[in-house]
Amino acid sequence: METITQMEKMFAPTSVAIIGASGREGSIGYSLVMNLVSGGFKGDVFPINPRYDSVYDLKCYDSITNLPIVPDLTLLAVPANVSNDTIKQACEHGCRMFINIASGFAEVGRRDLEWDMKDILEKYGARMLGPNVFGVYSAKASMNATFGPSVVKPGNVGLISQSGALGVALMGKTVTEGIGLSAVVSLGNKADISECEALEYLGNDDITEVIFLYLEGSKDGRRLMDIAKKVSMKKPIIAIKSGSSARGALAAASHTGSLAGSDKIFSAALEQAGILRALNLEDGFGWLRAMAEVPIPSMDGAVIVTNGGGIGVISSDSAERYGVRLMDDTKMLEELFRPTMPSYGSTKNPIDITGQGKNKEYEMALDIALEDDRIPAIVGLYCQTATGDPTEIADAAISSIRKAKKKKPIVFSMVGGKGIAESIARLNMAGIPSYASPDGAMSAMGALYKRFRRLKVKSEEPEEFDMDIEKIKGIVKKTWDTGMSSLTEDDCNLILREAGLSFPKSEIAKDLKEAKKVANEIGYPVVMKILSPDILHKTEFGGVRLDLEDDEELEVAYESIMASVRNRFEKARVNGVLITEMVKDCTEMILGFSQDPSFGPVIMFGMGGIYVEILQDVAFRVAPVSKLEITGMIQEISSYPILAGARGKNLRDIEALADAVSRISYLSTHVPEIVELDINPLMAMDQGKGCLVVDSRMTIRGEVK
């Protein structure tokens, strides 16, 4: 809450100073003053620049030190090389909130300047947005503290952009598209304030109802998630996270200096946090329009109303693609809509009132769809006919929606030539989200349904387990202290046993004789595996022998392994072999985690064996994960039907798998000293028979505070 109070100084200041204000029209220092004044900011504006007496008809001060008061917010429009001195001077004067417009910092390799900047700010307990930003707009203060567009339409959309140029362009786009803004925040290099503070503030801001976020990377993904989780329960967050391709990540790095990280993990994290991720600007903006204007549907079963069969068919395809389930109570639809169309029209959803349907029939069909309680959502499509006037259809739709007593989600698309663009604009200005392409309309409806489904999910705490964390940390520390960064097989097993995972029957044997004895106790067939702290990829070099059927096979395998070690790893320490029961009739899975630099522990679960790397049939989640999230994770992989007993296969112990994931999640968050864990394979046995760890690897690090 303290942060939010401090952030109020940025979004609702009573006074703003502009260091580097300028009298030169077209300059940044001029635009900032002009936008503040002409935008109707009600507080005091203090231009500061020793070279001017007045800027934009306001008295201009020669230095912040001569200002009669301490401004709530200080904008910095001075060159990078004097930036830090200026900040220091302003802090001495008492300033505590800055927006640093200047560029020439990390994005051109001068990270050092930002480190110094951060030191100064910390010393004074001050906060700063930027550098390399175009400013902040805040509707509640009528404050346009940007050098962006001077005309802004106030509204309910909060816009946060890591890219300055894109932010300015999108600000402009909202004006021509009739989308109202509650706030705009340019993130730039994020030397101090990041998307986290901006999101938290807008999440608590009364007039912001939808948030649009453009990100190229996040330094603290974990914090972003925690904030987004809370905010997304209250209002939709739409994000574009670029840099998903290798080339894009490179471009992002040279743009705002972001490290893009793994896109798969970022994607999972955004989803877990309830953020709707758009893959392109068009979708993002299209969803934004819908979220800003119409409510979330109350249930599945959207209805398409169209005057053209072709776009109806196209939209049925896209409904499936975007997860919009269409109403299929054909009897009810026939009763409701037959009166709106000629005999050759179709009531089968798409409701096709045909090209004969003019504005009267269109309005009639919409009236019915809007009033009937069994219809939760409407996609209106219009295909321009030779004689019909699209603006009349638009007006009919507007009239229909204005007189409707129920407020339902509705989106529109109109296809054609003359008058179409105007009709779409007219619908949009009337608050009915409308799109040039039927696909765009359906994509927006899909986003509304995605949010509908998200809000239905109950939030659930991750499970707690009774693991001896101190003991596990002790095992890790012991190895780390010897200078090793990976655990031996038996240390891995010790930890996983402590975490509550199950193993095939198994025993260590020091030599061949003992190996035979153990194998006979366990019962053939068995697996033999070399025990050595120095050999990591045991399978690849032949250090694992499967399906040994009797003493004779065991002996051959033993000699061969030992010969191989002597040949290839002359100096490897060998602690004997591990004899294990041979696990058959099961499905090979993989389970593990790694510590992501931005998100912390990230769990991976999927199909095991060579398929992991080739088919990449794995799901990721940022830990900790609740049981509900784990179920989603298991069902997400393409090979889930194999676990669920498809094609006459046995049903596997999915419950045991879920339990294993939950335990690994707990381990990953409680023992951050384990940097990476791979259980591969984790054998999924038949239902009721559990799942067994067959091989695992752990890499570790020193103590994490």
Site for a copy of itself in 29-68 (CB under 8 A): 31
Stretch that binds a copy of itself, among 12-20, 361-369, 638-646, 674-682 (CB under 8 A): 638-646
Nearer to a copy of itself, 376 or 419 (CB): 419
Structure letter (DSSP) for residue 138: E
Our finding on whether 533 is near a copy of itself (CB under 8 A) is no
Please give the structure tokens belonging to residue 356. Answer: 């004969």
Q: What is the number of residues in the chain?
A: 705
Q: Which stretch binds a copy of itself (CB under 8 A): 37-45, 415-423, 500-508, 514-522?
A: 415-423
> At its nearest, how many Å lie between a copy of itself and the CB of residue 458?
30
- Residue from 49, 208, 256, 626 touching a copy of itself (CB under 8 A): that is 256
Residue from the set 84, 89, 267, 437 that interacts with a copy of itself by CB under 8 A? 437
Part of the chain binding a copy of itself (CB under 8 A), chosen from 57-65, 198-206, 280-288, 519-527: 280-288
331 binds a copy of itself (CB under 8 A): no
**Given the complex with a copy of itself, which of 101 and 237 has the nearer CB atom?**
101
User: 22-53 burial, b if ≥16 CB within 10 A, otherwise e?
Assistant: bbeeeebbbbbbbbbbebebebbbbbbbeebe
| Phi, psi angle pair for 431, to nearest 5° | 85, 15
Stretch of 60-68, 266-274, 310-318, 622-630 lying at the interface with a copy of itself (CB under 8 A): 310-318
Instruction: Kindly list the distances between the CA atom of residue 213 and the CA atoms of 198, 201, 239, 680, in Å, as whole numbers in the listed order.
Output: 10, 13, 5, 37
- Contact between 159 and 184 under an 8 Å Cβ cutoff? The reply is yes
108 binds a copy of itself per the rule CB under 8 A: yes
Q: What is the CA radius of gyration of the chain?
A: 31
C-beta of residue 160 within 8 angstroms of C-beta of residue 195: yes
Contact between residue 310 and residue 317 where contact means Cβ atoms under 8 Å apart: no
- Only one of the segments 168-176, 396-404, 502-510, 523-531 lies at the binding site for a copy of itself (rule: CB under 8 A); that segment is 168-176
Q: Does 26 bind a copy of itself (CB under 8 A)?
A: yes
Q: How far are the Cα atoms of 183, 428, 450 from residue 179, in angstroms, in the given order? A: 12, 9, 22
Residue 203 or 390: the one with the smaller Cβ distance to a copy of itself is 390
CA dist 3 and 19 (Å) reads 24
CB of 644: closest distance to a copy of itself in angstroms?
Answer: 10
Binding mask 359-398 for a copy of itself (x = CB under 8 A): ------------------------xxxxx-----------
| Residue 236 or 350 having the CB closest to a copy of itself | 350
Q: Does 552 bind a copy of itself (CB under 8 A)?
A: no
CA 557 distance to own-chain centroid: 49
Query: Looking at 164, 236, 592, 600, which residue binds a copy of itself (CB under 8 A)?
Result: 164
The phi, psi pair for 595, rounded to 5°, reads: -90, 105
Provide the H-helix boundaries in 376-531. Answer: 390-403, 420-429, 438-456, 469-481, 489-498, 512-522
Q: Residues 201 to 220: which contact a copy of itself by CB under 8 A?
A: 214, 216
**Contact with a copy of itself (CB under 8 A): which of 20, 308, 446, 690?**
308
Give dist(CA 134, CA 76) in Å, integer: 11
From the list 12-20, 277-285, 499-507, 669-677, the region that binds a copy of itself by CB under 8 A is: 277-285
Of residues 2, 613, 688, 705, which one binds a copy of itself by CB under 8 A?
A: 613
SS3 call for 466: coil
The region of 54-62, 197-205, 318-326, 471-479 touching a copy of itself under the rule CB under 8 A is 318-326
How far is CA 612 from its chain centroid?
A: 23
Q: Choose between 14 and 316: whose C-beta lies nearer to a copy of itself.
A: 316
